[in-house]
Amino acid sequence: MLVYIARKLLQTVPVLLGVWTLVFVLFHYVGGDPAYVLLGRHATAQQVAELRAQEGYDSPLYQQYGRYIGQALKFDFGVSRVTHQPIRKMILNGIGPSLTIMLPSFCVMTALAVAIGLFAAFLRNSRNPLFLWMDKSIVILSVLGMSIAMLAFILFGQYVLAYRMGWFPISGYESEWPDRLRYTALPMLIWIFVNLGYDVRYYRTAFLEEADQDYVRTARAKGLSETRIFSKHVLRNGIVPVLTNVVLQIPMLILGSFLLEDFFSIPGLGGITIDAIRNSDLAVIQAMTTVGSMLFIAGTLATDILYAAFDPRVRLE
């Protein structure tokens, strides 16, 4: 297992450098001259030259690349040109509000999705027409939930549930409990409904694949009830794809939801990124892109390790 983890860690290094190189190239070539992007097309030559000297854009490209890699390794991305705050401080301050919404929502949504997915797989294996109809209804509702954009849920929640019915504040954020819960309850509900359909379908498929394995047929031949088979054997053996999906979603929990945080005025990482895009704050955008890539690579690495821990055959391969 230690050899497997060490090999995966070594494989992560070139991937991480490749992603950082791609981010650097995109921000320095595809987007055009950063000085003109920041100052606008009507900037004078003197203003452009001063900004290039101030931000280090006039130095050789390899020096800019080395400086960027050093910033990423030290998690120090300089100062925002808009807020004049250290970007590292902005990121650390934004993690808390993002996790306040994402972490409880994710835990509730995952528990619901696993329970509903397992229940739907149980219904699908039944020959009772009513159970089969219930399974189809769950699938249809899941697809319907996946098909509706998050923006529609947000507008419905803010207009109907918040404005018309007055059940929730329309937007805002409080740093103190329990007032914070009043402002985060509606975004959390929206996030759960938006993501529940996809996870229910994914987990239902995973459990159905397990239900077709030989050990399930052996358990039936031994006289075990369907409830015991699904609640004990299918759930335990189908937990590997569940863990894979859960770990891969963790980076998005930290980064937050851009639309939710923007519409509900929540000062999380999603809101910080949207504000940086609006204000053409390239340093913050580049920092958030870099952090996002690091989180996804770390999530993929954690997925491989957990997968090997639950299924020893992976290490043998």
Instruction: Give the CB-side neighbour count of residue 203, counting CA atoms within 13 A.
Output: 30
Write the Ramachandran bin of 223: left for phi over 0, alpha for psi from -120 to 50, otherwise beta. left
- pLDDT score at 112: 92
What is the C-alpha separation between 204 and 198, in angstroms, rounded?
10
Tell me, what amino acid is at 277?
I
- pLDDT score at 32: 60
A 10 A CB-CB count for 97 gives 22
Sketch the domain layout of the chain as residue ranges: 88-275
Listing DSSP states for 190-208 in one string gives: HHHHHHHHHHHHHHHHHHH
- pLDDT score at 223: 79
In order along its 317 residues, the chain shows pLDDT tens digits of 777 778 878 888 888 888 888 888 877 766 566 666 666 666 677 777 777 777 666 777 788 788 888 888 888 888 887 788 888 888 888 888 888 888 888 889 989 998 898 888 888 777 777 878 888 888 899 888 888 888 888 888 888 988 888 888 888 887 777 777 888 889 999 989 888 888 888 888 888 888 777 787 888 787 777 778 787 778 877 777 787 788 777 777 777 678 888 888 888 888 888 888 887 777 888 888 888 888 888 877 877 777 777 666 555 55
Under CATH, which architecture does the 88-275 domain have? Orthogonal Bundle (1.10)
Which distant-in-sequence residues (6+ apart) come within 8 Å of 239 by Cβ?
310
**Radius of gyration, alpha carbons of the chain:** 24
Query: Do 313 and 100 form a contact (C-beta atoms < 8 A)?
Result: no
With the CA atoms of 113, 115, 121 and 125 taken in that order, what torsion angle do they form, in degrees rounded to the nearest 10? Answer: -160
Three-state DSSP class for residue 160 = helix
- pLDDT score at 36: 63
Place of tokens 């230690």: 2
- pLDDT score at 240: 76
CA proximity to 256, closest of 41, 72, 103, 110: 103
